[in-house]
Amino acid sequence: MQYKRSSTLFKSAQAVIPGGVNSPVRAFKAVGGTPVFVERAKGAYLYDVDGNKLIDYISSWGPMILGHAYDPVINAVKSRADLGTSFGMPTALETQIAELAIDMVPNIDKIRFVNSGTEACMSAVRLARGVTKREKIIKFTGCYHGHSDAFLIQAGSGAVTFGSPSSPGVTKGTAKDTLLAPYNNLEAVAKLFNEYPEEIAAIIIEPVAGNMGCISPAYGFLEGLRSLCDQNNTLFIFDEVMTGFRLAKGGAQELLGIKADIVTFGKVLGGGLPVGAFAAKNEIMSHLAPEGPVYQAGTLSGNPLAMAAGFAMLTALKEDATIFDRLATKTKYLHEGLTSVLEKENIPHKINRVGSMISLHFTDKEVFDFETAVKGNNQHFNNYFHGMLKEGIYLPPSAFESYFLNDALSIEDLDFTIEALKKIVHKI
């Protein structure tokens, strides 16, 4: 396959957009080479500007759970657009999608719509701080909650338990309020509670991590965090921007049977349009403006096109109870296929999988947190990524991203993918 036009377009883009992209992972920096410029997509396939057809395993990083250009979503957006695209006034559609989401997700009474997952997580933390009147939060190294300042924090040095900025532009003052713990390490979290009693407003977590590959919570981990939160009057925030409406109709809360105090959403919820949301029980949500004093707003929040797309998407997911099982079955099929090829060649690897999220790590050790995820062999990953791309398979261009399968993928597509690995496995 050739990527001539992509290459030319990337050069033009680099002249006017930093790095040529509007979100860093798209630039292929981790794997090298030229990002693929897409022209259109339908179902499981991407069609790029060079006329290549690719089988897509990122699904726009999650939202396209039913495949690209899913007709009910496209039709909803088209017919809504004729009525006007934004008003800055309430519409009935916002109440309809709110009712639907609350019906699908356990343990929430009210939901506020925003424009991205970043906004949702940022607002959820402000709400938690407003409710508890505390300032510190705990996040887990390797979990991603968007790019707002409080989350761009890495482990501090030496004996300090608070973090340091992971990006220039984030202040030390902000970093002081974000405490870090390794994923799946309950003891580290208990220690933080001992060290900062009555100071921790919230724990925020990806209940199944999807931003350091796919990492599932160890048995008892989330339960343990839930009881630490209860003992310390700390709020438990599930960042379900990725897992919401993907792992089950009611997200990870439903799949894992654990209650969160505040839940954030994005990705699937918007059906491919820019939507995020955060939700909780009445007693928490009542603190939010205009009902309460915690401020949060948005000119385009609840945008009618986005709400129409989201409503069509959630309706489809609610009406077909078999979708999530079917997706999990396809993902298991892929898992088994990839494993058998890699085992035959004796390539050290670990595959992690939960529902329709799966990641392949080139290591012979278990991958259960950020530290174990970064131990994977990058050269193997890059060879694998580019080898598969040449065969027409579009995988996440980073070893620290999960694949997100969509329901349009057929068994033939999965077989084609496994066959592609057979062709390139000796080059890994």
Catalog residues that contact ligand PLP under the rule CB under 6 A. 116-118, 121, 144-146, 206, 210-211, 239, 241-242, 266, 276
State which residue, 387 or 397, has the beta carbon closest to ligand PLP: 397
193 or 278: whose CB is closer to ligand PLP? 278
Instruction: Please give, one letter per residue, the 3-state secondary structure of 235-296.
Output: EEEEECCCCECCCECCHHHHHHCCCCCEEEECHHHHECECCEEEEECHHHHCCECCCCCECC
Say which of 48, 56, 177, 239 is annotated catalytic: 239
Nearer residue to ligand PLP within complex by CB, 309 or 421: 309
239 is catalytic: yes
Show the tokens assigned to 52: 């290549």
Yes or no: say if 205 and 239 are a contact pair by the CB < 8 Å rule: yes
Taking the complex as a whole, how short is the minimal distance between the CB of residue 266 and ligand PLP, in angstroms? 4
Compute the CA torsion angle 187, 192, 195, 199 (nearest 10 deg). -140
Burial class (CB in 10 A: 0-12, 13-18, 19+), 231: exposed
Distance in angstroms (rounded) separating the CA atoms of residues 391 and 428:
14
DSSP 162: B
Angle at 402 between CA 187 and CA 20, to 5 degrees: 120
Do residues 213 and 402 touch, judged by C-beta distance below 8 A? Answer: yes
3-state secondary structure of 304: helix
* Distance, CA of 305 to CA of 78 (rounded, Å): 8
DSSP label at residue 130: H
| Cβ atoms of 83 and 91 closer than 8 Å | no
- Tell me the C-alpha distance between 405 and 357, whole Å: 7
Which residue in the list 136, 139, 249, 267 is annotated as catalytic?
Answer: 267
Q: Please, what is the minimum distance in Å from the beta carbon of residue 267 to ligand PLP?
A: 6
Q: Which of 205/418 has CB closer to ligand PLP?
A: 205
Q: What are the tokens at 135?
A: 């300032």
144 is annotated as an active-site residue:
yes
Q: Which is nearer to ligand PLP, 144 or 193 (CB)?
A: 144
Query: Could you tell me if 356 and 247 are in contact, meaning their C-beta atoms sit under 8 angstroms apart?
Result: yes
Distance CA 259, CA 394 (A): 35
Closest approach of Cβ 146 to ligand PLP, in Å? 4
Give the nearest distance from C-beta 150 to ligand PLP in angstroms. 12
* Active-site choice (45, 57, 70, 144): 144
Smallest gap, in angstroms, from Cβ of residue 243 to ligand PLP?
A: 7
Encoded tokens for 247: 């792992």
52 versus 141: smaller Cβ distance to ligand PLP? 141
Write down the least CB distance from residue 274 to ligand PLP, Å.
Answer: 7
Q: Which is nearer to ligand PLP, 118 or 382 (CB)?
A: 118
Cis peptide leading into 290, omega within 30 of 0?
Answer: yes
Q: Which residue is nearest to ligand PLP (CB)?
A: 117
- Which residues are known catalytic residues? 144, 239, 267
